[in-house]
Amino acid sequence: MDTRGDYQKVPASTPAETERTRNRKVYVPKVDIIETADGMVMYADIPGADEKTVEVTLEKSVLTIRSTIVPQNFAGRSICYAEYDVGDYERSFTVSDEVDRDRIEAVVKNGVLKLILHKVPQVVAKKIAVRTE
Amino acid sequence: MTDPLRELRRMQGELNRVFSGPGRSLNQEAPAVNAWVGEADVIVAAELPGVDPAKVEISVVGDTLTISGTRAAEALKAGESYHRQERDFGRFSRTIQLPFHVEADKVEATYSRGVLKITMPRAEADKPRKIAVTYE
């Protein structure tokens, strides 16, 4: 939230948004989600990110993708034309109970994050034998 | 650097996409580029995540740079289905005019973390020349 140059107090939205301590733009990466026989595969476009800057967290049922991006600058050259801006990435998804929490795989390649989510093995219904007395 | 026309252009792109019928493709303005200019060269960068670098074509003629290629959609196996498909795919092509003529055979392009970076040195013939003033 940019509050410079304004002498009035800024009203909060309800519920209060969580803000970041660093004043940097945040982008929502575009994703593809594919349902497979074994679970789900998620692809997210995060150009500029690599395995060191990407963070995938799962808290309760919320899966969050985050990545910090350092804007590029070239010594001795100045930007003369800008069509896209560089900022961090952040996006969250709620995942169902069917997802196996301990088996989430994440791979980053060429600025694309691939998440593989497996389904929990089906709980086999326990059959209770009924006998006559 | 706020461009008041950017929002309009984005809306136009969105409309074009809606009316371009079945099958999506990246619009004519893709990919977006940033350019840095220095004394001796110009650097152009574009965000192209998940593209096979072998399928990106870069051509330089005089002071015109063209970036084109194709971005494939994720291939589905039998029994798989999309829940969401937001990422763009298809053919992209972009031509931009550079601030000066460049040395076409000394152009270098690198692709890292989904970002394409093209470094083009300024043509010798195009470099500013210092003219000595002689006193008569």
- Mean pLDDT computed over A83-92: 90
* B132 assigned to some structural domain: no
CA distances from B111 to A63, A121, B80 (A): 29, 40, 31
Q: How far is A59 from chain B (nearest CA, A)?
A: 22
Q: Taking CB atoms and an 8 Å limit, are B36 and A112 in contact across chains?
A: no
CA distances from A35 to A41, A118, B54, B79 (A): 6, 10, 29, 8
Measured between alpha carbons, how far is B91 from B51 in angstroms, rounded to an integer? 11
Q: How far is A43 from chain B (nearest CA, A)?
A: 9
- How many domains does the structure of chain A reveal? 1
* B32 assigned to some structural domain: yes
| Res B34: pLDDT | 92
Residue A30, classified by CB atoms within 10 Å of its CB into exposed (0-12), middle (13-18) or buried (19+), is middle
Q: Taking CB atoms and an 8 Å limit, are A32 and B86 in contact across chains?
A: yes
For residue A109, the enclosing domain spans 54-71+89-121
CATH number at residue B55: 2.60.40.790
* A109 assigned to some structural domain: yes
Query: CA-nearest residue of chain A to B34?
Result: A82
For residue B109, the enclosing domain spans 28-73+88-126
- How many domains does the structure of chain B reveal? 1
**Number of C-beta neighbours around residue B94 at 10 A:** 19
- Mean pLDDT computed over A5-29: 76
* B59 assigned to some structural domain: yes
* B81 assigned to some structural domain: no
Euclidean distance between the first and final Cα of chain B, in Å? Answer: 49
Q: Taking CB atoms and an 8 Å limit, are B114 and A40 in contact across chains?
A: no
- pLDDT 10s digits, A103-116: 899 999 999 999 99
Are A42 and A101 within 8 A, CB to CB? no
Measured between alpha carbons, how far is A102 from A71 in angstroms, rounded to an integer? 34
Site of tokens 């034998």: A129
- Mean pLDDT computed over B115-127: 89
A111 touches chain B (CB under 8 A): yes
* A14 assigned to some structural domain: no
**Predicted-complex ipTM score:** 0.74
Are B99 and B42 within 8 A, CB to CB? yes
* A4 assigned to some structural domain: no
Q: Which of residues 45-74 of B touch A (CB under 8 A)?
A: 45, 47-51, 73-74
Closest CA to B93 of B63, B62, B58, B120: B58
| Res B23: pLDDT | 42
Closest CA to A68 of A51, A92, A84, A49: A49
* A110 assigned to some structural domain: yes
- Mean pLDDT computed over B24-53: 83
| Res B3: pLDDT | 67
